[in-house]
Amino acid sequence: MLRTTVSNSSDSEVDLLDDRDYVQLIDAEGRRHANPTLDRWIADVSDDQLADLYEDMVVVRRIDVEATALQRQGELGLWPPLLGQEAAQIGSARALRDDDFIMPSYRENGVAYCRNVPLDDLVRVWRGHAHGSWDPTEYRMAIPAVIIGAQTLHAVGYGVGVRMDGADSAVITYFGDGATSQGDTNEAMIFAATYNAPVVFFCQNNHWAISEPVRLQAAKHISERAPGYGIPSIRVDGNDVLAVMAATRIALDRAHRGGGPTFIEAVTYRMGPHTTSDDPTRYRSAEELAEWKAKDPITRLEKYFEDKGIFTDELKARVKAKADSVAAEFRAGCKEMVEPETMSVFDFVQIEANPVLERQRAQYAAYLANFEGED
């Protein structure tokens, strides 16, 4: 039983949280459950569009598999897999308007894919070539924040700026269950409520912050905190792409109409390691993993399609072809990436001239010049 509410345009949204752990439209068996309140937010999503969401999820999972392989082959230093979180990322990202801005953490590769961030830019950071690799203005998506929760405050500031500009777009910020313990995330909710900022707090509760289970971060559902800050919240099945999309649309609608911030707890599961450097077998059981594999966001959609008789060979072939071509492009982009130039280590520290730094640059250049002509 949740005490949280959604004080949206319609009071009936409250109903959805009556006596269930989270709201859901497609369950793990692929069964579609009617939900009068949620349904109207995705009424326009046809089976064809659902197939597109399915394709997105398969593709970003394939990117994940490819990236993990590249890391194992020594092509990447590190990779943070999103395995298991495809529905949370695709469902929310595909709910966004083009002018909505994204403040991500470092695991939102699926979200970046939806924003058409070039594939090699998804991997540049993890190949050790840059700390950030795209222009946030161009893709309306900030570069990944590695400091846990820091980006939530940026979302509030950006959102306040949006409102001051007289614009009606929203900002969505992604973070995990671990981030909800950070001061910044809590300050962000306070600031967002104070200034009625058009921010969607999108928490992917994937149950694990490296080795720490969510119960170490939260004694109760994370979504229950937000109302204490004056922010309505929704707890949604994060492995249900349709429900995630509906919840995100509700939150975005509130933001677009000046209704202020909304908190979404997408209940999902990090099926892979924290990063490729992590070994989850040290801290979690095979039984738990199996339990969540049964709730796989992609498999359930396949069951749903099969039940409806629309999981055709044509669809399967189309999705496989897309995944194959993205994977090939991704792999090639990674391996063919040009190394940054040595002296670029000094670039972009500041905009205005810094004579102290320029002296270091010149002296290092002189040092390097010593080796010219040597093998």
Partner 1 sequence: MTTTTETTNATATATGTATLTLAKSITAGLRRSMQDDDKVILLGEDIGKLGGVFRVTDGLQAEFGTDRVVDTPLAESGIIGMSVGLAMRGYRPVAEIQFDGFIYPGFDQIVSQVAKLHYRSRGAVRMPITIRVPFGGGIGSVEHHSESPEAYFAHTAGLRVVSCSNPQDAYDMLREAIASDDPVMFFEPKRRYWSKGEVNFEPEETLPLSRARVVSPGSDVTLVAYGPLVATAKDAVAAAADDGVSIELIDLRSIAPIDFDTVAASVRKTGRLVITHEAAQSGGIGGEIAASITERSFNWLEAAPARVTGFDTPYPPAALEEHFLPDLDRILDAVDRVLGRPNSLSDWED
| 184 is a contact residue toward partner 1 (CB under 8 A) | yes
Q: Please count the residues of this chain forming the interface with partner 1, following the rule CB under 8 A.
A: 45
Could you tell me if 299 and 121 are in contact, meaning their C-beta atoms sit under 8 angstroms apart?
no
Element (H, E) at 175: strand 171-176
| 131 is a contact residue toward partner 1 (CB under 8 A) | yes
| 339 is a contact residue toward partner 1 (CB under 8 A) | no
- Residue 18 has φ and ψ, to the nearest 5°, of -55, -65
Could you tell me if 61 and 298 are in contact, meaning their C-beta atoms sit under 8 angstroms apart?
yes
Q: Which of 274, 275, 302, 237 is nearest to 91 (CA)?
A: 237
Q: Which stretch binds partner 1 (CB under 8 A): 71-79, 129-137, 278-286, 311-319?
A: 129-137
| 341 is a contact residue toward partner 1 (CB under 8 A) | no
| 357 is a contact residue toward partner 1 (CB under 8 A) | yes
Q: Quick one: which of 29, 354, 362, 368 contacts partner 1 (CB under 8 A)?
A: 354
- Report DSSP letters for 75-104, one per residue: S-S-----TT-HHHHHHHHTTS-TT-EEE-
Q: Rounded distance, CA 13 to CA 352, Å?
A: 52
Q: Quick one: which of 17, 28, 112, 153 contacts partner 1 (CB under 8 A)?
A: 153
Q: Rounded distance, CA 36 to CA 18, Å?
A: 13
| 366 is a contact residue toward partner 1 (CB under 8 A) | no
Is 282 known to be catalytic?
A: no
**Near partner 1 in 46-105, by CB under 8 A:** 103
> Could you say which of 225, 235, 249, 270 is catalytic?
270
Could you tell me if 301 and 26 are in contact, meaning their C-beta atoms sit under 8 angstroms apart?
yes
- Tell me whether residue 111 or residue 199 sits nearer to partner 1 (CB atom): 199
Q: Quick one: which of 38, 63, 143, 250 contacts partner 1 (CB under 8 A)?
A: 143
In the complex, least distance from residue 113 CB atom to partner 1, rounded to whole angstroms: 19
In the complex, least distance from residue 305 CB atom to partner 1, rounded to whole angstroms: 40
Indicate the residue type of 154. Answer: H
Is 269 known to be catalytic?
A: no
Q: Rounded distance, CA 29 to CA 152, Å?
A: 34
Q: Quick one: which of 116, 194, 277, 312 contacts partner 1 (CB under 8 A)?
A: 194
> Could you say which of 20, 283, 318, 359 is catalytic?
283
- Those residues whose C-beta lies under 8 Å from the C-beta of residue 9, and which sit 6 or more positions away, are 253, 254, 257, 259
| 174 is a contact residue toward partner 1 (CB under 8 A) | no
Provide the residue count of the chain. 375
- Tell me whether residue 84 or residue 144 sits nearer to partner 1 (CB atom): 144
Q: Which of 134, 107, 108 is nearest to 120 (CA)?
A: 134
Is 270 known to be catalytic?
A: yes
Q: Catalytic residue numbers? A: 270, 274, 283
**Residues making contact with partner 1 (CB under 8 A):** 103, 130-137, 142-143, 147, 150, 152-162, 164-165, 171, 183-184, 187-188, 190-191, 194, 347-357
